[in-house]
Amino acid sequence: MTDLILHHYDFSNYSEKVRLALGYKGLAWQSVIIPPIAPKPDLTPLTGGYRRTPVLQIGADIYCDTNLIVRELERRYPQPTLFPAALAAVADAILYWAENRLFRPMSLYVSGSNLEHLPAGLQADRSRMRDLPPPDADTVRRAAARNAPLVRVQIPAIEAMLADGRPWIAGAAPTVADLAVYHALWFITARTALLAHELAPFPRINAWMTRVRAFGHGTSTPTTAAAALRIAANATPDAPRASQPFAEDPPLGTTVRIRADDYGRDPVEGTLVFIDTTEIALRRDDPQVGTVVVHFPRLGYDLRPTVARPG
């Protein structure tokens, strides 16, 4: 039985990124379908409060954020690689563009254009996740209209990246840039074909998307959230690897709080047990699942010691 448990849901584009990484590496995994809307009472005992999707669980080690999840899959299953040395740095820069400047307007355009196909309460939840008031349908439709051009002016850049005939976004081999650009474009038609016309004029993009889709999703077996919680409760987290802190980092053993620096900023508290250039890990004792270690990427997260407040 595989140790990899992915907590995800079908229309989550960041989950699609990880499903494709699992497929590319030919891995077997257990699948727990989580709610797309907070609260997530069967997920947050594992994460300590982090609510975004997806989350990878390996026993009592919990990996938050796809940028760490994909790196952790690479660490455990290095071949075939998604981080070829000559392309990895450029791929990471392209990934940042795709998941920020491209994806944010994409998500507003796609969601606002498919309002009647979204689960009830989704828009209100996403606004709460960004500390915004719940929008009415007209506001969401206006946001879609404002963002459509921002999507439309960026898609040709992807066709241009492929214009020299390269098979993959960063060059001769697949990288995380392929996963990141793909999941943003996948989102356009993940729910309905209403916006398929946005991609139709781009032959290189369409041929490349077919190549990425062929990675597949590996082999998944459905399981329940309760089973996943039991696995965490019965497992012991892996011993942390040797840390490589900077002088400015809080020392290991400090009680710290970590949270995303953009949205879905629910804080997670615990004891710092590992830190290096790419990863931060906290140990927490949870009433439901016992001791777990929760892992985050360094970039994109805000880490600080928990300050004891007087009184």
Ligand X SMILES: N[C@@H](CCC(=O)N[C@@H](CS)C(=O)NCC(=O)O)C(=O)O
Give me the residues that bind ligand X (CB under 6 A), please.
12-14, 36, 38, 51-53, 65-67, 129, 264
Minimum CB separation from ligand X for residue 61, in Å?
A: 16
C-alpha dist (Å) from residue 297 to 24, 129, 270, 301: 22, 20, 15, 7
Residue whose CB is nearest to ligand X in the complex, by number: 52
Q: Which is nearer to ligand X, 55 or 195 (CB)?
A: 55
38 vs 173, beta carbon nearer ligand X: 38
User: Tell me, what DSSP letter sits at residue 13?
Assistant: H
State which residue, 13 or 123, has the beta carbon closest to ligand X: 13
Alpha-helical (H) ranges within 162-307 are: 176-189, 203-213, 225-234
What separation in angstroms does the CA of 161 have from each of 65, 128, 137, 223?
26, 36, 36, 40
Minimum gap (Å) between residue 99 Cβ and ligand X: 7
Question: Based on CB atoms, which residue is closest to ligand X, 69 or 162?
Answer: 69
Residues 6+ apart with CB under 8 A from 300: 65, 67, 260, 261, 262
Minimum CB separation of residue 176 from ligand X in Å reads 11
The residue (of 55 and 231) whose beta carbon lies closer to ligand X is: 55
> How far is it, in rounded angstroms, from Cα 210 to Cα 200?
13
How many CA atoms are closer than 13 Å to the CA of 254, on its beta-carbon side?
17
Minimum separation from the CB atom of position 241 to ligand X (A): 22
| Residue 195 Cβ vs ligand X, minimum distance, rounded to whole Å | 17
